[in-house]
């Protein structure tokens, strides 16, 4: 688990489990009620821990919210990485990343409410979430360009364009519609970007 600002790092496996339970409970609490109506007592009740335990790990409701945004970014990264690793080439890997993200969004619909609220609760976390995500995509594109797998002029604009597409596809088909064929959607979107990334005719 990545170090999160305002979070006390657990020293034991039991502490790691408790921190994980608090973050999962916070995701459910804020995802259902929003930041302002969500409460520390609601989080501890969902996590099944004493109120004092909360303050062993977090200084405030703001602190766990900030940590949750960082944690969700990391969880998305960890979720898509195995799918990308199995892809035969960098362009296919972007499609695999999108498919994995769409499934994650369907299973964790609360991510959209939490990330959207972070724009107002903690703008720095909101901006960092998207900047870090775009940096990951840009890095993958640069490596692919160096290997000759995609066009040589890929850069930040391409990374933000791919991320923006992924975010709204996740909203439309992962959150708003439960019955969509997510793998088919990812293939369609990947075919769309592949032509641009590969260049040529």
- Domain identity same for 69 and 140: yes
- Domain identity same for 78 and 105: yes
CATH number of the structural domain spanning residue 37 = 1.10.10.60
- Among positive and negative, which fits the CA dihedral 60, 66, 69, 73? negative
Question: What angle, rounded to 10 degrees, do the helices at 90-107 and 110-121 form?
Answer: 90
Q: Cα torsion for 160, 175, 61, 39, to the nearest 10°?
A: 170
CA nearest to 150, candidates 190, 194, 187: 194
Largest CA distance in the chain: 63
Per residue in 96-136, pLDDT (tens digit) is 999 999 999 999 999 999 999 999 999 999 999 999 999 99
At residue 5, does pLDDT exceed 60?
no
Per residue in 162-184, pLDDT (tens digit) is 999 999 999 999 999 999 999 99
Q: What is the pTM of this model?
A: 0.88
- Per the structure, how many domains does the chain have? 2
The pLDDT of residue 7 is 65
**79, 41 in Cβ contact below 8 A?**
no
- Domain identity same for 112 and 179: yes
Per residue in 56-86, pLDDT (tens digit) is 999 999 999 999 999 999 999 999 999 999 9
With bands split at pLDDT 50, 70 and 90, how would you rate the model's confidence at 11?
confident
- Domain identity same for 102 and 25: no
The answer to the question of residue 4 being in a domain is no
How crowded is residue 191: how many other Cβ atoms within 10 Å of its Cβ? Answer: 11
More confident residue, 57 or 2: 57
The share of the chain scoring above pLDDT 70, in percent, equals: 95
Specify the DSSP class assigned to residue 7.
B
Residues sharing a CB contact under 8 Å with residue 196, sequence separation 6 or more, in sequence order:
158
- From CA 57, how far away is CA 6, in angstroms rounded? 8
Query: In which domain, by residue range, is 44 found?
Result: 13-63
How crowded is residue 98: how many other Cβ atoms within 10 Å of its Cβ? Answer: 26
- Domain identity same for 103 and 185: yes
The pLDDT of residue 6 is 54
């Amino acid at each position: 688990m990545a170090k999160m600002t305002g979070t006390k790092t657990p020293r034991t496996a039991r502490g790691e489990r408790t921190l994980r339970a608090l973050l999962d409970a916070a995701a459910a609490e804020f995802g259902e009620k929003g930041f302002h109506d969500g409460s520390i007592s609601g989080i501890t009740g969902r996590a099944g821990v004493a109120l004092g335990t909360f303050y062993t790990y977090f200084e405030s409701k703001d602190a766990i919210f900030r940590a949750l945004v960082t944690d969700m970014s990391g969880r998305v990264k960890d979720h898509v990485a195995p799918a990308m690793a199995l892809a035969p080439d960098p362009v296919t890997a972007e499609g695999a990343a999108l498919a994995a993200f769409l499934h994650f969004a369907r299973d964790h619909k609360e991510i959209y409410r939490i990330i959207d609220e972070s724009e107002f609760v903690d703008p720095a976390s909101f901006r960092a979430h998207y900047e870090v995500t775009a940096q990951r995509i840009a890095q993958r594109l640069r490596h692919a360009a160096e290997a000759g797998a995609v066009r040589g002029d890929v850069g930040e604009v391409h990374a933000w364009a791919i991320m923006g597409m992924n975010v709204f596809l996740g909203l439309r088909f992962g959150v708003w519609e439960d019955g969509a064929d997510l793998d088919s959607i990812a293939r369609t979107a990947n075919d769309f970007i592949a032509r641009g990334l590969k260049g040529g005719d």
